[in-house]
Structure 1
Amino acid sequence: MTPRSPRTGQHPTPPQSPWAAVTSGLCKSFGTGPTRVMALDHVSVAFRRGEFTAVMGPSGSGKSTLMHCLAGLDSVSAGSAHIGDIDISRLSDRRLTRLRRDRIGFIFQAFHLVPTLTALENITLGMGLTGRRPDQRWLAQVVAALGLEKRLSHRPSQLSGGQQQRVACARALIGRPEIIFADEPTGNLDSHTGAEVLKLLESCVRHLGQTIVMVTHDPVAAAYAHRVVFLADGRVVDDMQAPSADTVLARLKDLSGHRPGSPAPYSGPAAAR
């Protein structure tokens, strides 16, 4: 029997897991028979709360597929994927939609802003569609953190690419998700604007306590993260802390010679579950 608090008589709140997202033995395949492709091959990895993680690897390594499975955008073939304490691979479509709405944020290479709406309306659109109202203090904090105070009445055509991506970042943050998945968020930006967006993402982690998992092919972008997880041939092959652009580039060059089917050199900890 769970003990009750001596003061309130209520069950104490269990401690929150340090992990925002975890996979265990995650497999994802496409096709059947001789055309079957194993995009993810028994991937076990964990993403800590309040951490900025980059996911990298050669083309076809499975990095985008991993993000899509973790975000509930793709089903899993075997194994499990958790957001917090919820195994999303076991959820019905309705519950999965609700979880994505309430607990996950998305930032994509394409900004996906509605051209007829203002920046503020784009930021709050998702909440409005589900009948929720944004917390005005949190909205003000997010807008200030992203430097959008003077751009809220502007439509996307009146904003630069960097400003549009800031609006997309604010839209992802406004619902206070447990985790944000960013898929090549600087892919459509020049190097200067991309650096500004990456600094903003890192600031959201440092000052707002956000958890961000970013798929990128760019070693410079990955260097803004606290950690880089490397994939090759659908498997985790390395886990780098405190990355620099040079160390990431060197590791990617090593992976470019990684032969399909060869043993993965990664020997770090498995998923924390």
Structure 2
Amino acid sequence: MTTSSFAGRTTAVAARATELSKIYGQGETQVVALDRVSVDFAQGQFTAIMGPSGSGKSTLMHCVAGLDSFTSGSVRIGDTELGSLKDKQLTRLRRDKIGFIFQAFNLLPTLTALENITLPMDIAGRKPDRQWLESVIEMVGLSGRLGHRPSQLSGGQQQRVAVARALASKPEIVFGDEPTGNLDSRAGAEVLGFLRNSVRELGQTVVMVTHDPVAASYADRVVFLADGRIVDEVYGPTPDAVLDRMRSLPGGGPRIPSAGAEGRVG
């Protein structure tokens, strides 16, 4: 099993990127979205990824989660190397080992809350672990809403359903892409609290992309990207500490490499 040092102790790694690069286009229009990024995400930890717009934070998450291809380097989920998988194998890995929470709730309007929560397992022909499912539903406070359809739920309640759906299959790792982006501050704080508790109480691993220093402060660790590279990280973050680091980062979008950079990056 792959391990990493976290806060002075050895911890198993849920996901690892090594020398990961993602390049769009060719020649003069070539854009480097990720520039040889190496990062570990420890099991049972909550990591936030931050950076200016265009820094590569969502690209990093999508590549590590198997939602997007990468140009070079490697990605492992547990002991599985993503680059060696065929499409069907990658689909199966995403279904069986990864949970996703997006800014858009992505619920099916004709299904009840409970049916939306168990849908990925139903599609896979797997029965949920009833005790685990009940723990997840209780944690996100949905016990009295399971028969409601999305249109009968508030935005915050819909995102609770999405959180429960991501956790219900006992994934090895949960990825969140701006999961509180469509919520007001109170509903956002509730969802972040549920993610925090899933790490603390259920031993879940969570990786979240966010632009919000308050959201990032719920994490154990914040990784900062700028220009497609990891430039800093903070453990035990506070909103003020995160905001200070963000202000000091180089601004802006993905880099257009200078002549001769292709061989170095790719």
Q: Does 1:150 align with 2:141?
A: no
Q: Distance in 2 between matches of 1:29 and 1:108?
A: 24
Q: Distance in 2 between matches of 1:258 and 1:173?
A: 34
Q: Secondary structure at the residue paired with 1:75?
A: coil
Check conservation: 2:55, 2:253, Cα contact below 8 A. no
Q: Does 1:28 align with 2:13?
A: no
Partner of 1:57: 51
Q: Taking every aligned residue pair, what percent have the same amino acid on both sides?
A: 64
C-alpha displacement at 1:139, in angstroms?
1.1
C-alpha displacement at 1:57, in angstroms?
0.2
Q: Does 1:167 align with 2:161?
A: yes
Partner of 1:80: 74
Q: Distance in 2 between matches of 1:61 and 1:70?
A: 16
Q: Distance in 2 between matches of 1:257 and 1:167?
A: 35
Check conservation: 2:227, 2:254, Cα contact below 8 A. yes
CA, structure 1 residues 257+126, in 2 after alignment: closer, same or farther (shift >3 Å)? closer
Q: Secondary structure at the residue paired with 2:40?
A: strand
Partner of 1:98: 92
Q: Secondary structure at the residue paired with 2:15?
A: strand
Q: Distance in 1 between matches of 2:45 and 2:186?
A: 24
Q: Distance in 2 between matches of 1:143 and 1:99?
A: 24
Name the amino acid aligned to 2:87.
Answer: D
Partner of 1:43: 37
Q: Secondary structure at the residue paired with 1:18?
A: strand
Match of 1:184 among 168, 171, 178: 178
C-alpha displacement at 1:32, in angstroms?
1.2
Q: Distance in 2 between matches of 1:122 and 1:259?
A: 36
Match of 1:209 among 200, 203, 208: 203
Partner of 1:139: 133
In the TM superposition, what whole-angstrom CA distance separates every residue of 1:4-47 from its partner, at most 9, and x where no partner exists? Answer: xxxxxxxxxx7987000001100001111111111000000000
Q: Distance in 1 between matches of 2:105 and 2:219?
A: 21
Could you list the runs of 4 or more consecutive aligned residues of structure 1 that deviate by over 2 angstroms after TM superposition?
14-17, 256-261
Q: Distance in 1 between matches of 2:249 and 2:144?
A: 45
Partner of 2:238: 244
Q: Secondary structure at the residue paired with 2:234?
A: strand
Partner of 1:232: 226
Name the amino acid aligned to 1:82.
Answer: R
Aligned length: 248
**Runs of 5+ in structure 1 lacking a partner?**
1-13, 262-273
In the TM superposition, what whole-angstrom CA distance separates every residue of 1:66-107 from its partner, at most 9, and x where no partner exists? Answer: 000001111110000110111101211111011000000000
Q: Distance in 2 between matches of 1:28 and 1:259?
A: 14
CA, structure 1 residues 145+58, in 2 after alignment: closer, same or farther (shift >3 Å)? same
Q: Does 1:221 align with 2:191?
A: no
Match of 1:118 among 112, 115, 120: 112
